[in-house]
Amino acid sequence: MMITEMIEFRSKAYYQVSAALAFGSFLVFCNLYLFQPMLPVLADHFMVSATQINWLLAAGTLMLALSLLPWAIASDFIGRRKVILLSLFMLPVIGVTSLLTDSLIVLILSRAAMGIALAGFAAVAVAYMADAFTAKAFSYAIGAYISANSLGGISGRLFGGVITDHFSWQMAVILMALISAIGAIIVALILPKDTAQQTEKRSVSDYHRVLVQHLRNKPLFLAMLIGGVNFALFVNLYSVTGFRLIAEPYSLPLSVTSMIFLCYLSGTVSSRLVGLWCQRFNAVSGMFAGTLLSLIGMLIASNQSLITIIIGLNVLSFGAFFTHSLAYGWVSQKAEAAKSTATALYLVHYYVSGSLGGFYLMYCWQHGGWESVVLGAGILYVVIFWLCWRLYNYAHTKVAWA
């Protein structure tokens, strides 16, 4: 089936496309975070340090960030659907290939290759929706898509930990490859062909101009920065909380502390509420509200009670995913051309900021404990509020960029 007109909310095509892309997103994030809970086991297996084994996680994330723009450019030539399917079918192939030799270097390289493959889907899926859906349908579909992101991240971590604990890390990789192969076939069967708008023929020399155009588009650039700083706070506050719970006075085992990622589920809920918010209010005020909730969640989690920490993480996740969904959707909808390139740029800011934020908040943790983390994170929250204020002014009063 080919899309011949814009897809309306609650139509058969709406459910078909949104389900296919949400499921694909779920598979992508399962594969991205599969190895995170395995790192201690793999450090023992390969007899290397924690820093060295961390390359298994860093290689995939880094290559994902670096590959987003090339995939986005490719999709403008060959179409969004082809890139989506190529990306998904690469996952099981790379997964199985990674087990052909018991070499850490090969495994790291395979995770880098996995990051390249994952970037294909991540770079163009939202642009596919922006081109195919009406504004109302898109505002609801983006929430389902982001929810699938969080569910995939949670499931990948839990799946990798449980299967490795009961069988082996190799079995976890094999089973994930099998699930990914079946999922890719399902998406291929139900995802419609591209519209004419989803294949934009451009010369390669045009892309430098397009990138500069996106970065000079003040609303787009501000939304990218908001999404990036938001993710830098969110993902790394979780990382620091893990260290906090392992240390005194909690001294919890790693298997228990990893369960804090279940708090991502509140973000799954908030992502689905984005469509309702956008029907009644504007997206920028939603970014501000989501950031405020995220800040409140961090402050709640500052209490020494373990139950209060869990509550705080749920509030933090709810707000952070709400802000992310709105900023991500804003970039997709406001880009005047080359939408996949715009969404890829958003994700570049997103993942690069997440990496840099880790160094920043971990430094705060190591030199001042949780109180220093709260202070350091508070500075970043102020930055997001300021960016939201600038975006609101520009979007509503068209004030000049100062």
Give tens-digit pLDDT for 298-357: 999 999 999 999 999 999 999 998 999 899 888 877 776 666 678 778 888 888 887 777
Give tens-digit pLDDT for 40-57: 678 778 988 756 777 887
Closest of 398, 387, 24, 396 to residue 182, by C-alpha: 24
pLDDT bucket at 363, cuts 50 / 70 / 90:
confident
Report the pLDDT value the prediction gives residue 318, as an integer from 0 to 100.
94
Domain annotation for the chain: domains and CATH numbers: 7-201 (1.20.1250.20), 202-402 (1.20.1250.20)
Report the pLDDT value the prediction gives residue 213, as an integer from 0 to 100.
72
Give tens-digit pLDDT for 123-159: 888 888 878 888 888 878 887 887 788 789 889 888 8
Report the pLDDT value the prediction gives residue 200, as an integer from 0 to 100.
53
Give tens-digit pLDDT for 65-92: 889 888 888 887 888 899 999 999 999 9
Q: What's the pTM value of the predicted model, to 2 decimals?
A: 0.74
Mean pLDDT computed over every residue of the chain = 84
Give tens-digit pLDDT for 267-292: 878 877 887 787 888 888 899 999 99
Compute the distance between CA of residue 38 and CA of residue 60 in angstroms, rounded to an integer.
14
Structure tokens at 352: 């690069």
Closest of 232, 174, 32, 21 to residue 116, by C-alpha: 32
The segment with the largest mean pLDDT, out of 91-105, 189-203, 262-276, 386-400, is 91-105
Closest of 127, 92, 36 to residue 341, by C-alpha: 127
3-state SS, the chain, equals CECCCCECCCCHHHHHHHHHHHHHHHHHHHHHHCCHHHHHHHHHHHCCCHHHHCHHHHHHHHHHHHHHHHHHHHHHHHCHHHHHHHHHHHHHHHHHHCCCCCCHHHHHHHHHHHHHHHHHHHHHHHHHHHHHECHHHHHHHHHHHHHHHHHHHHHHHHHHHHHHHHCCHHHHHHHHHHHHHHHHHHHHHHCCECCHHHCCCCCCCHHHHHHHHHHHCHHHHHHHHHHHHHHHHHHHHHHHHHHHHHCCCCCCCHHHHHHHHHHHHHHHHHHHCHHHHHHHCCHHHHHHHHHHHHHHHHHHHCCCCHHHHHHHHHHHHHHHHHHHHHHHHHHHHHCCCCHHHHHHHHHHHHHHHHHHHHHHHHHHHHHHHHHHHHHHHHHHHHHHHHHHHHHHHHHHHCCCCC
pLDDT of 122 over the 90 cut: no
pLDDT of 234 over the 80 cut: yes
